[in-house]
């Protein structure tokens, strides 16, 4: 049983985002980004309430900006999904999750050492240039159930 419900169009959209956000970090980095996307859909808390589809997660606007920078700035995001990234996205949607993004709802590239918290959310680890953060205890227990 998949971690979340999805359609073929969701696989394409997620694959494009994973590539746009982390192609330089290889398959592992793209899988971590995929973890965050699926986790945001599962979470239904904090900044991610009432998101019901992969499309809503990808195109979510917070504070006047898209949650994923690649939607605004990344021409890679607007290229066709490649089969290799489609396979990775499908892995995330069906079953794959791993530390440091296993329960992460946020990641970013600080162009410096990873801070111990980000908007009061604890640091869970780093992969190459991206720092990952999961919800503080008791703030979003639903992310741990999916």
Domain that holds residue 31: 8-103
For residue 1, pLDDT over 80 is answered with yes
Could you tell me if residue 113 is inside a domain? Answer: no
CB 38 within 8 A of CB 96: no
For residue 15, pLDDT over 80 is answered with yes
Q: Helices then strands (H, E): number in the chain?
A: 5, 6
For residue 146, pLDDT over 80 is answered with no
Give this prediction's pTM.
Answer: 0.97
Distance CA 114, CA 28 (A): 19
Averaged over 5-10, what is the pLDDT?
A: 97
Could you tell me if residue 41 is inside a domain? Answer: yes
Could you tell me if residue 143 is inside a domain? Answer: no
Q: Read off the pLDDT band of 5 (50, 70, 90).
A: very high
Q: Would you tell me how many other CB atoms lie within 10 Å of the CB of residue 108?
A: 14
Q: Read off the pLDDT band of 9 (50, 70, 90).
A: very high
- As for how many domains the chain has, the answer is 1
Averaged over 87-92, what is the pLDDT?
A: 98
Could you tell me if residue 67 is inside a domain? Answer: yes
Check which CATH number belongs to the domain holding 64 and give it: 1.10.10.2520
Could you tell me if residue 3 is inside a domain? Answer: no
Could you tell me if residue 135 is inside a domain? Answer: no
Report the mean per-residue pLDDT for the chain. Answer: 96
List pLDDT tens digits, range 93-132: 999 999 999 999 999 999 999 999 999 999 999 999 999 9
């Amino acid at each position: 049983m998949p971690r979340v419900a999805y359609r073929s169009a969701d696989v394409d959209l997620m694959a494009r985002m994973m590539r746009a956000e982390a192609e330089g970090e290889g398959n592992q980095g793209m899988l971590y980004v995929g973890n965050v996307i699926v986790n945001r859909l599962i979470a239904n808390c904090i900044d991610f309430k009432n998101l019901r589809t992969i499309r809503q997660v990808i195109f979510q606007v917070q504070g006047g900006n898209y949650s994923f920078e690649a939607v605004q700035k990344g021409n890679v995001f607007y290229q066709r999904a490649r089969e290799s990234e489609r396979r990775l996205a499908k892995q995330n949607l069906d079953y794959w999750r791993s530390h440091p993004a296993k329960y992460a709802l946020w990641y970013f590239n600080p162009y410096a050492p990873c801070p111990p918290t980000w908007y009061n959310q604890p640091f869970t680890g780093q992969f190459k240039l991206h720092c990952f953060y999961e919800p503080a205890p008791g703030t979003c227990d639903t992310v741990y159930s999916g």
